[in-house]
């Protein structure tokens, strides 16, 4: 039995895979096969250099070539997760990469996921299943046990695909971390694969970035380099024409593959916290849809479908003043619901939200935001933040009680006549409070797998369903409720837009990069 205090697991109780999970992996890794899988690791000179983007683009490009390709990242740290068909959690970047590769997302694409919850503590998710909340120091004490999970998963992929694209994290040559880095050089070394290096020219110093990173890579792995990609160039590419000469002079053993222009429109989902601020930047023109920027925000990608529509703009807000012009207010997901609720009160946003409702502004709560809209939140053990019984915003007659069990599942959602795939990922159970039991003015928001879900009242609704706004019918209904004129939803579905995005990314790298070294290695 695992021994824990306050949700923190003790060192002598660390067991990252269940017996069934271990048996499943071992049975696959002992299969004898003549299949030979090639691996390419996409490394970066820094965080936010473009590793996730390039991995996605390469996956889409190889998929167009008819190659059986799959994405992989040993470990992510993110509160933006995706729910697989079997109810597991992985980073959203790997989910997007899977779709670009023509695959359903699977937990083996991201065996270790860390979901920060504050105070240098994260929820540890192994092979899609939440284990415990774990401090950073304790996590690194058990890095070798986690590496074995990664190894088993890598071995599993050998019989399942022709090419494995391995995304790195941050820089592969952080000298103080390399001895315990299981994300960058170790996987590609284990598979005896090759690697690409991508650098971000936008932040400056691209030559120092590339040359310095290459020089610090261990000698035994330098010869495995396939090439260098310069990313995020703004302006006239002819001004960078001499780059090839400089790179050839200073990096003679690492081919320069080319430079990619900065692409604001071609951006798939990412999990890196440094990328999140860019995703949360204001966008569009028109009436304001205000999204509350919680300190412990999670699943921020729920806002993305709105960015495709005309007549509205997404605005992330941190102060009451920013709500003055809002026509719709959204309280998104939270990884620390009680602390984010306290933050709403400390900043004055709680009062401002109630005032906005009295002016007729619709209020929407998703997941943690849904829980905050209720009358009470009860957390006996501190699972959702600090333990205790806390009053909610009182905008819906609900009570939420937090428990160790976690609901993680994909659902078939239905709003009016539109049906689409969405998902739940939350801790806690929400039910009607006494004042709402016999009140017929409240009703469900939508159907999830044919069952009524969420609660809606007078211009206020809440739901556990992530992906709610991927339905154009939902977005149109809310704009009608908000009395927004001039609103026009995107002509294409969200899913169609995503598929076209991957195709465009594949075309971009084919147009701007010399892919010959990759073709040669993969024998294409």
pLDDT for res 270: 52
User: Using 50, 70 and 90 to split pLDDT, how confident is the model at 284?
Assistant: low
Among the listed residues 461, 318, 464, 339, the one whose alpha carbon sits nearest the alpha carbon of residue 395: 461
- If one compares 5 and 272, the residue with the highest pLDDT of the two is 272
Contacts 24+ apart (CB under 8 A), 200-203: 200/44, 200/45, 200/46, 200/48, 200/49, 200/50, 200/231, 200/232, 201/230, 201/231, 201/232, 201/233, 201/240, 201/259, 202/231, 202/232, 202/233, 202/234, 202/262, 203/46
Q: Is the pLDDT of residue 524 over 80?
A: yes
Helix 206-216, helix 243-250: angle, nearest 10: 20
User: Using 50, 70 and 90 to split pLDDT, how confident is the model at 279?
Assistant: very low
pLDDT for res 170: 94
pLDDT for res 483: 94
User: Using 50, 70 and 90 to split pLDDT, how confident is the model at 385?
Assistant: low
User: Using 50, 70 and 90 to split pLDDT, how confident is the model at 406?
Assistant: confident
- If one compares 120 and 431, the residue with the highest pLDDT of the two is 431
Cα dihedral across residues 197, 202, 203, 204: positive or negative: positive
User: Using 50, 70 and 90 to split pLDDT, how confident is the model at 35?
Assistant: low
Global pTM? 0.82
523, 268, 96, 131 alpha-carbon torsion, rounded to 10°: 120
| Average pLDDT over every residue of 458-463 | 94
User: Using 50, 70 and 90 to split pLDDT, how confident is the model at 25?
Assistant: very low
Distance of CA 418 to CAs 81, 85, 415, 472, 474, Å?
24, 21, 5, 8, 9
Q: H helices of 395-493, where?
A: 472-481
| Average pLDDT over every residue of 139-143 | 87
Most confident of 4-8, 214-218, 436-440: 214-218
pLDDT for res 386: 64
pLDDT for res 384: 57
Domains of the chain: 37-268+502-522 (3.40.50.300), 280-491 (3.40.50.880)
* Among 63-67, 90-94, 235-239, 311-315, the least confident range: 235-239
Q: Which residues are catalytic?
A: 367, 466
Whether 201 and 210 have beta carbons less than 8 Å apart is answered as no
Q: Is the pLDDT of residue 405 over 60?
A: yes
Whether 110 and 118 have beta carbons less than 8 Å apart is answered as no
pLDDT for res 2: 34
| Average pLDDT over every residue of 102-118 | 93
- If one compares 356 and 263, the residue with the highest pLDDT of the two is 356
| Average pLDDT over every residue of 48-76 | 96
Whether 167 and 97 have beta carbons less than 8 Å apart is answered as yes
User: Using 50, 70 and 90 to split pLDDT, how confident is the model at 323?
Assistant: very high
* Among 51-65, 70-84, 263-277, the least confident range: 263-277
Share of the chain above pLDDT 90, in %: 69
Average pLDDT over the chain, rounded to whole? 88
Share of the chain above pLDDT 70, in %: 89
- If one compares 142 and 517, the residue with the highest pLDDT of the two is 517
Class of residue 169 by CB neighbours under 10 A (exposed 0-12, middle 13-18, buried 19+): buried
């Amino acid at each position: 039995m695992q021994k824990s205090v306050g949700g923190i697991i003790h060192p002598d109780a660390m067991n990252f895979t269940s017996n069934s999970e271990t048996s499943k992996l071992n049975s696959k890794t002992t299969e004898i096969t003549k299949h030979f899988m090639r691996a390419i690791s996409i490394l970066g000179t820094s965080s936010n250099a473009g590793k996730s983007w390039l991995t996605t683009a390469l996956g889409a490009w190889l998929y167009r070539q008819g190659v059986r390709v799959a994405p992989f990242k040993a470990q992510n740290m993110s509160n933006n997760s995706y729910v697989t068909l079997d109810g597991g959690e992985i980073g959203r970047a790997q989910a997007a990469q899977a779709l670009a590769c023509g695959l359903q997302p699977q937990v083996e694409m991201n065996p270790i996921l860390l979901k920060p919850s504050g105070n240098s503590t994260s929820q540890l998710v192994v092979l899609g299943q939440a284990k415990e909340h774990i401090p950073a120091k304790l996590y690194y004490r058990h890095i070798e046990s986690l590496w074995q999970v990664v190894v088993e998963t890598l071995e599993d992929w050998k019989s399942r695909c022709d090419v494995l694209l391995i995304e790195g994290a941050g820089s592969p040559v952080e000298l103080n971390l390399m001895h315990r880095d299981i994300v960058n050089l170790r996987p590609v070394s284990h598979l005896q694969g090759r690697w690409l290096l991508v650098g971000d020219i936008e932040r400056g110093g691209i030559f120092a970035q590339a040359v310095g990173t290459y020089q610090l890579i261990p000698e035994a792995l330098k010869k495995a380099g396939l090439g260098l990609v310069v990313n995020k160039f703004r302006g006239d590419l002819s001004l960078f024409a001499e780059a090839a000469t400089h790179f050839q002079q200073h990096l003679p053993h690492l081919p320069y593959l080319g430079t990619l222009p900065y692409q604001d429109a071609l951006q798939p989902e990412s999990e890196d916290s440094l990328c999140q601020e860019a995703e949360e930047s204001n966008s569009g023109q028109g009436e304001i849809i205000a999204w509350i920027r919680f300190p412990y925000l999670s699943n921020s990608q729920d806002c993305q479908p709105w960015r495709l529509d005309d007549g509205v703009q997404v605005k992330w807000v941190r102060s009451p003043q920013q709500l003055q012009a809002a026509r719709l207010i959204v309280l998104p997901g939270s990884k620390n619901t009680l602390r984010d609720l306290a933050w709403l009160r400390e900043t004055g946003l709680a009062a401002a939200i109630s005032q906005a409702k009295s002016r007729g502004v619709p209020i929407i709560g998703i997941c943690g935001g849904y829980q905050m809209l209720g009358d009470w939140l009860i957390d006996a053990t501190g699972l959702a933040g600090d333990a205790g019984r806390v009053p909610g915003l009182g905008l819906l007659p609900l009570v939420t009680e937090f428990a160790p069990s976690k609901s993680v599942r994909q659902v078939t959602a239905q709003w009016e006549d539109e049906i689409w795939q969405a998902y739940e990922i939350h801790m806690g159970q929400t039910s009607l409070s006494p004042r709402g039991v016999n009140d017929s003015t409240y009703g469900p928001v939508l159907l999830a797998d044919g069952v009524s879900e969420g609660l809606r009242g007078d211009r206020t609704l809440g739901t556990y369903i992530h992906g709610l706004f991927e339905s154009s019918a939902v977005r149109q209904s809310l704009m009608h409720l908000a009395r927004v004129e001039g609103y026009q939803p995107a002509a294409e579905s969200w899913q169609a837009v995503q598929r076209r995005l991957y195709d465009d990314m594949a075309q971009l790298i084919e147009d701007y990069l010399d892919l010959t070294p990759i073709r040669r290695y993969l024998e294409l």
